[in-house]
């Protein structure tokens, strides 16, 4: 009979053996980093990664590769993105030695008003159907990136996806799972079942998926340019379809669209400059979290400790109260972004944290003092030193369900994120940019590019960005380890759509957090749930600061791949 003490010994020894398989001994590490001398791509789908590498091997640069990979993901992972959605990107341009930001989000229909919702007794924009549809900005974003930085013709860049759309590709396991969960809510809307299912069902894992309609759409875009999408027959089909199905998005809305080049915003976190894009996205929430965290000695707390997790949760709550009150279309914001991410404001917000007790509510910042005036992520890097951080989404996975005939893609439902109360910066208005969740990120050190990274997943994104940076900087993890480490996902904060935090929200802790830590967090007043995601989809590329080679990492919770040459 085996003694209890012997069982303890065997468990401890087995843990040691498992940890010994990993260079650092960290139990959560899934694999080593990927390294390559000339180019790297990291996406949420292996075939998209290979397409990106193929583009760079054949004379394209990182920007060309990012566009090609994004197009492929729209076909291969429609559960997260597609040309019916929006796009954001941060580009490190090696020639000029600086970062460029692209806001490729679309505006609300000009014929729909907040008063219309009031007159029809609608107090919250629904997630599906025609009402949440806004102008899709992704295709325009591709061409803005290409016109400024691209090298290969768009016909060459989009051809791999066109071929896969015609000939088929095997659907991966995670994507097949989410595809199956996406159908019921969207089935009532015209065109979805016909174009985005196989006889009313999701494709099985390993089953070939073809989308000839999308192939035709991409071929038209490749040959005729962005105006084919926004001013040609594609735009006309979208406008006529929406009008026929009680929608408001029109041909005129499509024709008027343009994205915007914006200046990335940064905070310095213990010597590293962390970059995000300004609102209408939520990127600066990650910077606000980091600004608050920097007021504390996080490294001494240790990864996975009760003090660290408590501090992170409280910092997140504080940042998200400001997110709910202030983040919006920049033309409507009544606070300064520079002030929101400033060091002295971070210190003031940090002073509200009680390390012994979880807050049930937090106030947003003082506007008088502040007033100064489901998604995919991919990253690519080339032999010239260019690096791209790109994120693209339909918002709720497969979007609104509105699927225009013959085009092969679903329109996004990003307009759901507008608030319908009068006077809020994010209140619905015609021709306005909605609050956005998708955010790319970048890290520089001493003015040189270091890391291009992102982590998809709605409100998880700024939380994930901050955790990745803390893992790298405070806890000295490697790039893959920083993504593999168990994550914290807090829900229940106040939202830009009007909901308020009243009970402190809920901390969802991924498997791997010690039970003694969990008990201590509960003693401090945190509401805890276990392994209830989403925890995000991480991809990253690092340029080695000493050797100059690229290091790649890919999310272990998804189907993706980092690879290079």
34-76, pLDDT tens digit by residue?
999 999 999 999 999 999 999 999 999 999 999 999 999 999 9
Instruction: Please state which of the ranges 249-258, 472-481, 526-535 shows the lowest mean pLDDT.
Output: 526-535
Task: Name the catalytic one among 375, 379, 437, 497.
Answer: 375
**C-alpha to C-alpha distance for 141 and 86, rounded to whole angstroms:** 8
Peptide bond into 534 cis (omega under 30): yes
pLDDT of 14 over the 60 cut: no
Model pLDDT, residue 21 = 56
pLDDT of 464 over the 70 cut: yes
3-state class (DSSP) for residue 376? strand
254 vs 436, which has greater pLDDT?
Answer: 254
305: number of CA atoms within 13 Å, CB side? Answer: 13
Instruction: Tell me the whole-structure pTM to 2 decimals.
Output: 0.92
Structure tokens at 170: 């095997």
pLDDT band at 366 (very low <50, low <70, confident <90, very high): low
| Closest to 286 (Cα-Cα) out of 300, 272, 297, 299 | 272
433 vs 362, which has greater pLDDT?
Answer: 433
| Closest to 178 (Cα-Cα) out of 367, 402, 398, 470 | 398
Model pLDDT, residue 216 = 98
Model pLDDT, residue 13 = 38
Q: Tell me the per-residue pLDDT of 140-154, one tens digit each, with 9 for 90 and over.
A: 999 999 999 999 999
For residues 433-454, give the mean pLDDT. Answer: 95
Model pLDDT, residue 508 = 92
pLDDT of 197 over the 80 cut: yes
pLDDT of 300 over the 70 cut: yes
Give the rounded distance of the alpha carbon of 168 from its chain centre. 27
For residues 423-432, give the mean pLDDT. Answer: 93
The sign of the dihedral angle between the CA atoms of 555, 556, 557, 563 is: positive
CATH number (3.30.930.10, 3.40.50.300, 3.90.1150.10, 3.60.20.40) of 43-304+374-487+494-501+537-565 reads 3.60.20.40
3-state class (DSSP) for residue 158? helix
pLDDT of 507 over the 60 cut: yes
**C-alpha angle 295/301/304, rounded to 5°?**
120
Is residue 375 part of the annotated active site? The answer reads: yes
**Packing angle between helix 283-293 and helix 306-326, nearest 10 degrees?**
140
Q: Mean pLDDT for the chain? A: 92
Model pLDDT, residue 273 = 98
For residues 299-321, give the mean pLDDT. Answer: 96
pLDDT of 436 over the 80 cut: yes
Model pLDDT, residue 396 = 87
Residues of the chain above pLDDT 70, percent: 93
User: Around Cβ 219, how many Cβ atoms within 10 Å?
Assistant: 18
């Amino acid at each position: 009979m085996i003694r209890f003490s012997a069982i303890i010994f065997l468990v401890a020894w087995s843990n040691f053996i498992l940890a010994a398989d990993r260079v650092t001994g960290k139990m959560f590490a899934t694999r080593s980093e990927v390294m390559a001398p000339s180019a790297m791509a990291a996406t949420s789908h292996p075939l998209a990664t290979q397409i990106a590498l193929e583009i760079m091997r054949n004379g394209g640069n990182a920007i060309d590769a990012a566009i090609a990979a994004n197009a492929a993901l729209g076909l291969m992972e429609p559960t997260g993105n597609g040309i019916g959605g929006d796009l954001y990107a941060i580009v490190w341009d090696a020639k000029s030695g600086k970062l460029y930001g692209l806001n490729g989000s679309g505006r609300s229909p000009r014929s729909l008003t907040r008063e219309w919702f009031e007159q029809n007794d609608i107090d919250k924009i629904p997630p599906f159907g025609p009402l949440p549809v806004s102008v899709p900005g992704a295709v325009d974003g591709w061409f803005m990136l290409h016109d400024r930085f691209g090298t290969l013709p768009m016909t060459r860049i989009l051809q791999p996806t066109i071929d896969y759309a015609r000939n088929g590709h095997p659907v991966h396991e995670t994507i097949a799972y989410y595809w199956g969960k996406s159908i019921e809510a969207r089935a009532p809307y015209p065109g979805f079942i016909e174009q985005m299912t196989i006889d009313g069902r999701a494709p099985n894992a390993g089953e070939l998926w073809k989308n000839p309609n999308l192939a035709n759409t991409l071929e038209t875009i490749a040959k005729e340019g962005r105006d084919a999408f926004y001013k040609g027959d594609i735009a006309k089909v979208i406008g006529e379809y929406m009008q026929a199905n009680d929608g408001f998005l029109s041909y005129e809305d499509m024709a008027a669209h343009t994205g915007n080049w914006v200046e990335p915003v940064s905070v310095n976190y213990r010597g590293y400059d962390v970059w995000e894009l300004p609102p209408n996205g939520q990127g600066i929430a990650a910077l606000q979290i980091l600004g608050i965290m920097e007021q504390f000695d996080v490294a001494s707390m240790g990864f996975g400790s009760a003090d660290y997790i408590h501090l992170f949760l409280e910092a997140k709550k504080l940042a998200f109260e400001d997110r709910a009150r202030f983040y919006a279309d920049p033309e409507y914001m009544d606070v300064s972004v520079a002030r929101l991410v400033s060091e002295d404001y971070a210190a003031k917000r940090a002073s509200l944290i009680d390390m012994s007790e979880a807050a049930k509510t937090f106030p947003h910042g003082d506007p008088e003092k502040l007033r100064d005036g489901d998604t995919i992520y991919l990253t690519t890097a080339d032999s010239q030193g260019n690096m791209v951080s790109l994120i693209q989404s339909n918002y709720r996975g497969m979007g609104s369900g509105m699927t225009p005939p013959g085009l092969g893609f679903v329109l996004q439902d990003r307009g759901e994120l507008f608030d319908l109360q009068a006077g809020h910066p994010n209140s619905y208005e015609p021709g306005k940019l909605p609050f956005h969740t998708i955010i790319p990120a970048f890290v520089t050190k001493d003015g040189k590019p270091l890391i291009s990274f992102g982590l998809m997943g709605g409100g998880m994104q700024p939380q994930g960005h901050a955790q990745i940076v803390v893992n790298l900087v405070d806890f000295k993890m490697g790039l893959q380890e920083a993504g593999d480490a168990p994550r914290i996902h807090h829900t229940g904060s106040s939202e830009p759509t009007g909901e308020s935090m009243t009970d402190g929200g809920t901390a969802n802790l991924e498997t791997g957090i010690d039970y003694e830590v969990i008990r201590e967090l509960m003693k401090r007043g945190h509401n805890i749930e276990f392994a209830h995601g989403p925890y995000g989809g991480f991809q990253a590329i690092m340029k080695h600061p000493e050797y100059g080679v690229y290091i790649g990492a890919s999310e272990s919770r998804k189907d993706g791949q980092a690879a290079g040459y």
